[in-house]
Structure 1
Amino acid sequence: MRFFRFTKYVAFTATLGLLGACDDFLDVNQSPNAVLAAPAPNVLVAAETHLGFLMGSDIHRYSSLFVQQFAGQGGAGIQNAEYDRYNVTATDMNNVWRSNIYGGALADLQKLVEQTQTSSPRYAGISKIMQAFTFAVTTDAWGDIPLTDALKFASNVQPKYDNSEAVYTSILALIDSGVEDLAKASEFTPLTDDLIYGGDVTKWRKLANTLKLRLYVHYYPKVSATATSNIATLIAQGPANFISTAADNFQMDFAGISNNENPIHQFEGRRPNQFFPSSTLVGLMNTKSDPRRATYFTASPVAGQYTGAGNGTGATGAPATAFSRMHTYLRGEATTTGTTTTYTGAAPIRMLIAPEYHFILAEYYSRTGNVASATTSLTAGVRISMQMAGVATAAIDTYVAGLPAQIAANTASSGAEGLLRTIIEEKYVANYGVAVEPWTDWRRTKYPALNPAANAVIPQIPRVLPYSDLERVANPANTPERTDLTAPAVFWDPGR
């Protein structure tokens, strides 16, 4: 059914393109029966699918390589091996910036707002919340971005850039506006055309609140008073108003869409031997005998254990493949015949998940001195993450029982930040496959502890992405210069 809806949208889009071409050629009056705009359900399907692909493609690869959840291999000149040593250029940004973000997901969402705001505001509300999410990911990755002047289409093709702090203010207002729209009377309401929550406005409100929490926790440690006040006010609503269980995860399910293949799986299948789990992530999980490894990674072909690739090592020497690879958690169910394993590709693209909510609370409580509540929330986040990864209850209990020892070990090496370090490390593991957020956490907290990649072309791990060079050509008066990827460029980034 979902595949049918998606292909139906494509058919409508193709029809619109042909109608436009015929109108220009014939220069005749428009037929009253002509389709002039895709119906709102079709636009919603397109917008959600665009967002799902965005969050599992380029922006996931950049951020997960920088934060060392993955490592690039394949030899000199191979794209991911170059990204892994921070050889990321303005040209590399053209597709993700112009086609996937502003010309893709955000454009679809804006059109949906414009055509439904008056008659069917629940569609507009969903669209605004997803716009807020997309703008947040974009500003966290690039810093200053177009927002107030953006998405005006032909009326303004050279938008000004808003500073990232102002962008956050606008995003928070956009979320509030979206929530207000969800409560309004609506001529039409999303149902099965909402591929994420099936038209359940309660779940969209939970996403709105949890997205706010994500934004507010970013103010730590640079603007701690603001973070503390806003988080305290928000969590007073109670856990029922947030993504507190995996059933409410904000994720794009690819079962029935695009041949069941999510973009992370597609990339692995089409460019094999380029994108391996990093030795940083795998090593951290090995140290803790983390049972999530069984679904996160395949066993190493060399030692029968879990082995990650070293960051920055893939652009020199002969291509290497003797590492663990991503497994069912990111690629869907697996079938092994002989020595060949195939995957459905239908694992969801996870964008904001329940464990993150609990880790945000844990960080808040740890920073405000409530160690007991911080530990309770940390434990809840770990449990849900492990349940999502298919870990048996007994193994979860064993791992959770070892959390106090982890905290003690981290306290011995990191002092007063031992609890915070444990929280962020566990969040880093739980957010495997989630774009940008683990990179954001590292930039603002310095956890997990990372060393720059080997053979890096710049001396430090990037803290921001370059701007698209096509954007600089099309909008030269407004697009900022960006010559240093290691300097803090987002208002919440304290630098290190």
Structure 2
Amino acid sequence: MHTFRFLFAAGLAALLLAAPGCSDDKLDEIDTNPNDPLTAGVRQLLPAAEAGLAVGIHGNEAAWFATTFVEHSAGVHAQFEQVDKRVPGSFNNTATNNTWVGIYAALLKDLDTIIRQGSTGREAGAWRYVGIAKVLKVYTLSVATDLYGRVPNTAASQGIANLKPTYDTQQSIYQDMDRLLTEAVADLDKPTTLQPANADFYYGGDPAKWKKLAYALQARLANHLSKRDPQGSATKTLAALAQGLASPADDFTFRSYSTLATGENVWFQERNDRSHFAVSRTIYDIWTGLNDPRRELLTGTLADGTRVPAPNGSSQSDQPGTLYSRASTNLVSATAPQPLLTFAEQKFIEAEAQLRLGSGPAAYAAYQAGVSAALANQGVPAAAAITYLAQASVSPGASALTQENIITQKYLGFYIYGAIEAYNDYRRTGFPALRNTEGPAPRRYPYGQSELDSNRENVPATTSADGVWWDDGTED
């Protein structure tokens, strides 16, 4: 149930069925090529890639391992319980293989096809699709390199022309992603022969919103480099944010789940079908210490009406959900939206960058805006949000604001869908303090077993204790 291929296929099938369509004649006109009739058109490839990003990365093993590593959740069943308890050999190349295959055999392959086909290929001039695909490629590639370290980039997606791609340094990948985002903004401004409209699940083909996302993503990636270049990364982050998301209306959020069995929110499917995770005691105790209304709002109750979090590393097995609380239906339901990059996250990024540059008042204003937006995203009533923000522990003032304040509130705002980015933040900053009784979280993911089987000579020799370049400054 939890493998990438099943979730991707099941989720995508429902989404495509649910998406409004254009006429059969128009689809035939767009997608019929007498010289290459078996090649999918950009209109088919884009929704597949967009769904894959939500389902196959943020609703699968990549995010599910991360949710235990950052202690949003505790693993209480099967593989994720073993990984949470640091059972030797449990976090291995097989465990991360679905993520690796999904990124390289599906997402990047489809996105590179859109870019090639829509710029110089048989659908040349489809610049709206090309620009969107470049943004999505950067998003996908950033997940790959942030989790694994050095990965194939310049030699990837060449099919039989290169079955053993070499690996690029993370530093060069970050430079290439920055270039692609700049290109994407330019492409989105070009006259286009095809409009995505309902083939785009996120923004309906609106180029202005995609450009804002490109800048927001550029800021996120620049901020990742805080350990390598604190001042320079902050300056670049703020420059990008000046053209980023203008409000929560610009959030990059997947909202196309349905009540169909094959189209439900994948975290909802996981909870109902496998139930690997309980609410972590770590985040529960942070909520408690801050008198945070999200503790009751986002934590489900047991049969007796109590809320019981699970301790990372020492919880009992609990697939039935009788011992520990799960995320509540206020957050995880069949049609719950799945945020991928939000205005709230952007404001926390801004706050951190301003703080590194010594701009306390600007950092504090951005921080408070981030907290407010995160509370709203997670359904906290306005009155409760005002009371929460009035506490000195939440709003310490501009002169007392710390990086720990910012990252802790960002971490709370990421619950439960933003685990991958929370994992990136933890490796950069060390916040929040984690409490797994069996030892620290891994610093990276092991490469997929299929890559070892087919391309072993190019796979870097690393361990899960090694940091990626932006973390420890080395390139394996």
Q: TM-score range by the shorter chain?
A: 0.7 to 0.9
Change (3 A) 1:329 1:250: farther
Q: Determine the structure 2 residue equivalent to 1:72.
A: 75
Contact in 1 for aligned 2:14/2:262 (Cα 8 Å): no
Listed as ranges, the matches of 1:264-279 within 5 Å are 264-272=267-275, 274-279=276-281
Residues 279-307 of structure 1 show CA distances to partners (whole Å, capped at 9, x for unaligned) of: 111111121121123442213445x4543
* Distance (Å, rounded) in 2 between the aligned partners of 1:373 and 1:95: 42
Question: In the alignment, residue 326 of structure 2 is paired with which amino acid?
Answer: R
Q: Which of 462, 465, 470 is residue 491 of structure 1 equivalent to?
A: 470
Contact in 2 for aligned 1:351/1:435 (Cα 8 Å): no
* Distance (Å, rounded) in 2 between the aligned partners of 1:397 and 1:5: 37
* Distance (Å, rounded) in 2 between the aligned partners of 1:64 and 1:8: 29
Change (3 A) 1:391 1:468: same
Moved more, 187-196 or 319-328: 319-328
Q: What is the CA distance between 1:154 and its match in structure 2?
A: 1.6
* Distance (Å, rounded) in 1 between the aligned partners of 2:84 and 2:346: 29
* Distance (Å, rounded) in 1 between the aligned partners of 2:85 and 2:42: 43
Q: What is the CA distance between 1:33 and its match in structure 2?
A: 9.1
Question: In the alignment, residue 411 of structure 2 is paired with which amino acid?
Answer: Y
Residues 21-49 of structure 1 show CA distances to partners (whole Å, capped at 9, x for unaligned) of: xxxxxxxxxx9498322232111111111
Contact in 2 for aligned 1:443/1:493 (Cα 8 Å): no
Moved more, 313-322 or 176-185: 313-322
* Distance (Å, rounded) in 2 between the aligned partners of 1:323 and 1:360: 33
Q: Which of 370, 375, 383 is residue 381 of structure 1 equivalent to?
A: 370
Q: What is the CA distance between 1:408 and its match in structure 2?
A: 4.9
Q: Determine the structure 2 residue equivalent to 1:307.
A: 308
Question: In the alignment, residue 470 of structure 1 is paired with which amino acid?
Answer: S
- 1:491 is paired with a residue whose SS is helix
Contact in 1 for aligned 2:364/2:401 (Cα 8 Å): no
Q: What is the CA distance between 1:149 and its match in structure 2?
A: 0.6
The two structures have a TM-score, normalised by structure 1, of 0.83
Q: Which of 421, 446, 470 is residue 437 of structure 1 equivalent to?
A: 421
Residues 312-338 of structure 1 show CA distances to partners (whole Å, capped at 9, x for unaligned) of: 124679987322211234423xxxxxx
Question: In the alignment, residue 365 of structure 1 is paired with which amino acid?
Answer: Q
Contact in 2 for aligned 1:460/1:486 (Cα 8 Å): no
Contact in 1 for aligned 2:97/2:450 (Cα 8 Å): yes
Q: What is the CA distance between 1:392 and its match in structure 2?
A: 1.4
Change (3 A) 1:66 1:494: farther
Q: Determine the structure 1 residue equivalent to 2:163.
A: 157
Contact in 2 for aligned 1:382/1:426 (Cα 8 Å): yes
Please provide the CA RMSD for this pair.
Answer: 2.7
Moved more, 353-362 or 316-325: 316-325
Change (3 A) 1:376 1:353: same
Change (3 A) 1:301 1:480: same
Larger Rg: 1
Query: 2:238 matched to 1:254?
Result: no
* Distance (Å, rounded) in 2 between the aligned partners of 1:331 and 1:320: 15
Moved more, 467-476 or 314-323: 314-323
**Unpaired runs of 5+ in structure 1?**
10-30, 333-344
Query: 2:139 matched to 1:133?
Result: yes
Change (3 A) 1:317 1:110: closer
* Distance (Å, rounded) in 2 between the aligned partners of 1:165 and 1:358: 25
Q: Determine the structure 1 residue equivalent to 2:337.
A: 348
Q: Determine the structure 1 residue equivalent to 2:211.
A: 205
Residues 307-365 of structure 1 show CA distances to partners (whole Å, capped at 9, x for unaligned) of: 31111124679987322211234423xxxxxxxxxxxx111222111110000111112
Question: In the alignment, residue 192 of structure 2 is paired with which amino acid?
Answer: S
**Unpaired runs of 5+ in structure 2?**
1-11, 20-32
- 1:207 is paired with a residue whose SS is helix
- 1:322 is paired with a residue whose SS is coil
Q: Determine the structure 2 residue equivalent to 1:321.
A: 322
Change (3 A) 1:34 1:143: closer
Report sequence identity in percent: 30
Q: Determine the structure 2 residue equivalent to 1:460.
A: 440
* Distance (Å, rounded) in 2 between the aligned partners of 1:359 and 1:408: 15
Q: Determine the structure 1 residue equivalent to 2:449.
A: 469
Contact in 1 for aligned 2:388/2:394 (Cα 8 Å): no
Q: What is the CA distance between 1:116 and its match in structure 2?
A: 1.1
Contact in 2 for aligned 1:126/1:178 (Cα 8 Å): yes
Q: What is the CA distance between 1:183 and its match in structure 2?
A: 0.7
Question: In the alignment, residue 473 of structure 1 is paired with which amino acid?
Answer: D
Change (3 A) 1:116 1:317: closer
Contact in 2 for aligned 1:300/1:322 (Cα 8 Å): yes
- 2:71 is paired with a residue whose SS is coil
Query: 2:462 matched to 1:478?
Result: no
* Distance (Å, rounded) in 2 between the aligned partners of 1:32 and 1:445: 55
- 1:144 is paired with a residue whose SS is coil
* Distance (Å, rounded) in 2 between the aligned partners of 1:8 and 1:301: 35
Residues 165-223 of structure 1 show CA distances to partners (whole Å, capped at 9, x for unaligned) of: 11111111111111111111111111011011111111101110000110111111332
Question: In the alignment, residue 104 of structure 2 is paired with which amino acid?
Answer: Y
* Distance (Å, rounded) in 2 between the aligned partners of 1:152 and 1:378: 43
Change (3 A) 1:35 1:70: same
Listed as ranges, the matches of 1:41-80 within 5 Å are 41-54=43-56, 55-74=58-77, 78-80=78-80
